[in-house]
Structures are given as structure tokens and as C-alpha cells.
């Protein structure tokens, strides 16, 4: 029997919004290539409407997620790390396609998994470390406690897995919900992460992942009146874009985390967690 040629089934990935995988309402896609310029897949090119839907999903999820105990949030983040470990080989293959050796790719995947575990461990410690009982003159107790800001938008860096995890995990560990614009040239690790999240214990809407042009999506998120904070890390290569995003964010007094010279392999510290926290101070009379 003569050998028959067959057409390769080319993958077209979708967005991740509210725990589901919708197509972009615009119907647009763009081609993702590997380090050699060869076709890898098609990725959805999200629109303004998709960004609005993602913000609505994050807002809907905020009350339930922030209302969970810190210990439970830590358990859920740890479960995500467990599932990342189970798909380690797939992440390694995707990072190798972006460029670099197998050893380098494996090291980045391991670092990303370890970082999820690290942030999971912080979930039930933030209140103790950042809160305080304040000395006051009078018959009162005075307590300061950290609380989540709300919906956090993030422009992810082009470190497609470790950088993405380093942006998203600290935003949600304290009870915020997140809308993230994935790396534009290398979105596949973010899409695979979405598949992990969809089958983990993470409630729908806590993390929403958009793929597409960051210069198109970020301004809509920066100007959205129901977004409480924005992380501009991934926009750092375009000074004019950063400035325009900061100006748009000022319209509703968003918290803004400006891009810096981040070394994603370094110890993360607590700065990305504290950037999206508010401090609530409560006065309570001393009972007799």
C-alpha cells in the first residue's frame, strides 16, 4: 500500500478567562514561531472586549478568593505547583523551542515550580509579618492588617514561564485576582500554565490570561475603572508606552508597579506582594 501524505493539524490556542478557554471575540490569531523562525502554533489575539471580559471575571472572583482563609489560598497555590511538576517535560519542550539548551530550560521550569511553592508558603504569614498591634494613648486596641487591593492587571515579561510566575503568584497569594497579558513572542508556556490552572483547585476568574499585542491590550487595562492596580513589568522596553500607561492608570488612582531591571533567577523577596496590599487600621475599645 503506497504511503499517503497527511496534513499536519496545526494547533490554535485560545484565551483563558473565568476558568474557560474562549476564542477571542475578534476572531483574530497570530503566528507563534520558535527560535529558528519555524511555525509552532497559532495564538489568539485578544481584543478590548476580551480584556473587559477578563476584568469582569476577576472582579466576580475577588470576593470569594479574598474571603478564603490565607491557609487555604496557600494550599491551592501549592496544588498548582504540584501540577506544574507533573507537566514538567512539556514546559521544558516549550522553553527549548523559544531558545536555549535543555539544561537551561529544565532549570527555568524547576525555578518556576519552586517559586510557586515559595509564594504558597507566604500565604498565611503575610498578616503576621506585615500587620501590627499599635501602641496608643487611651483605652483602645489599635491593629493594622494588610488587605488585598482588588483586581490587578499585569503585563508579563518575555521570560515566558519564570517571569510570568514571578508576576502572577505574588499578586494572587494575598487575595487579589489577576488579568495578565502573556509574553507576546512566546505565549505558549502561559497557555500551558492556563491548562494547569483550569484543572487545579484555583477558582475560576482568579487568574485570567490574555495573549496578543501588549501595546494594544495594556492601555485598555490601564484605563479600566474596575482595575485597582497594574504591574507594568513587561512594558519596560517601551518608555513611551510605560508613560502612557501610567497616565491612564492615574485616572482612578491605580497602584502602579513600574518596570525595573528584574533578575528572575534572584531571590524574589516580598516587594511584589506588598505592592498590591492595602493597610487597614482598626480601633477597638478595651472591654471592662
Alpha carbon distances (Å) from 175 to 42, 120, 169: 33, 12, 10
Which of these, 167, 201, 205, 192, lies nearest to 84 by C-alpha position? 192
User: Within its chain, how far is the Cα of 117 from the centroid?
Assistant: 15
Please check whether residue 3 lies inside any domain of the structure. Answer: no
State the residue range of the domain holding 251: 29-285
Residue 116 within any structural domain of the chain: yes
Is there a domain that residue 70 lies in?
Answer: yes
CATH number, domain with residue 124 = 3.40.605.10
Q: Indicate whether 179 belongs to any domain.
A: yes
How do the pLDDT tens digits run along the chain, 288 residues long?
Answer: 566 787 778 889 999 999 999 999 999 999 999 999 999 999 999 999 999 999 999 999 999 999 999 999 999 999 999 999 999 999 999 999 998 899 999 999 999 999 999 999 999 999 999 999 888 888 888 889 999 999 999 999 999 999 999 999 999 999 999 999 999 999 999 999 999 999 999 999 999 999 999 999 999 999 999 999 999 999 988 899 999 999 999 999 999 999 988 899 999 999 999 999 999 999 888 875
Residue 88 in any domain: the answer is yes
Identify whether 233 is part of a domain.
yes
- Grid coordinates standing for 48? 478590548
Identify whether 129 is part of a domain.
yes
Number of domains in the chain: 1
The answer to whether residue 37 is domain-embedded is yes
Q: Note the pTM of the prediction, 2 decimals.
A: 0.93
Amino acid at each position: 500500500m503506497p504511503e499517503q501524505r497527511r496534513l499536519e493539524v496545526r494547533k490554535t490556542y485560545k484565551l483563558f478567562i473565568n476558568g474557560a478557554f474562549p476564542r477571542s471575540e475578534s476572531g483574530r490569531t497570530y503566528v507563534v514561531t520558535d527560535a529558528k523562525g519555524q511555525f509552532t502554533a497559532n495564538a489568539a489575539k485578544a481584543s478590548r472586549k476580551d480584556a473587559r471580559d477578563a476584568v469582569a471575571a476577576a472582579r466576580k472572583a475577588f470576593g470569594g478568593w479574598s474571603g478564603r482563609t490565607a491557609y487555604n489560598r496557600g494550599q491551592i497555590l501549592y496544588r498548582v505547583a504540584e501540577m506544574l511538576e507533573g507537566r514538567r517535560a512539556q514546559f521544558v519542550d516549550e522553553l527549548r523551542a523559544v531558545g536555549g539548551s535543555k539544561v537551561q530550560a529544565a532549570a527555568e521550569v524547576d525555578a518556576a515550580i519552586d517559586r510557586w511553592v515559595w509564594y504558597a508558603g507566604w500565604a498565611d504569614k503575610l498578616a503576621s509579618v506585615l500587620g501590627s498591634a499599635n501602641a496608643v494613648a487611651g483605652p483602645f486596641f489599635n491593629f493594622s492588617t494588610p488587605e488585598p487591593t482588588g483586581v490587578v492587571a499585569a503585563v508579563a515579561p518575555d521570560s515566558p514561564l519564570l517571569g510570568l510566575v514571578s508576576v502572577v503568584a505574588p499578586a494572587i497569594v494575598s487575595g487579589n485576582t489577576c488579568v495578565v497579558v502573556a509574553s507576546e513572542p512566546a505565549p505558549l508556556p502561559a497557555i500551558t500554565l492556563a491548562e494547569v490552572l483550569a484543572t487545579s483547585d484555583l477558582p475560576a476568574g482568579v487568574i485570567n490570561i490574555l495573549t496578543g499585542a501588549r501595546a494594544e491590550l495594556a492601555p485598555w487595562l490601564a484605563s479600566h475603572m474596575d482595575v485597582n492596580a497594574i504591574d507594568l513589568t513587561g512594558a519596560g522596553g517601551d518608555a513611551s508606552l510605560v508613560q502612557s500607561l501610567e497616565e491612564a492608570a492615574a485616572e482612578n488612582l491605580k497602584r502602579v508597579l513600574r518596570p525595573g531591571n528584574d533578575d528572575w533567577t534572584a531571590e524574589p523577596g516580598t516587594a511584589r506582594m506588598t505592592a498590591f496590599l492595602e493597610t487597614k487600621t482598626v480601633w477597638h475599645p478595651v472591654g471592662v
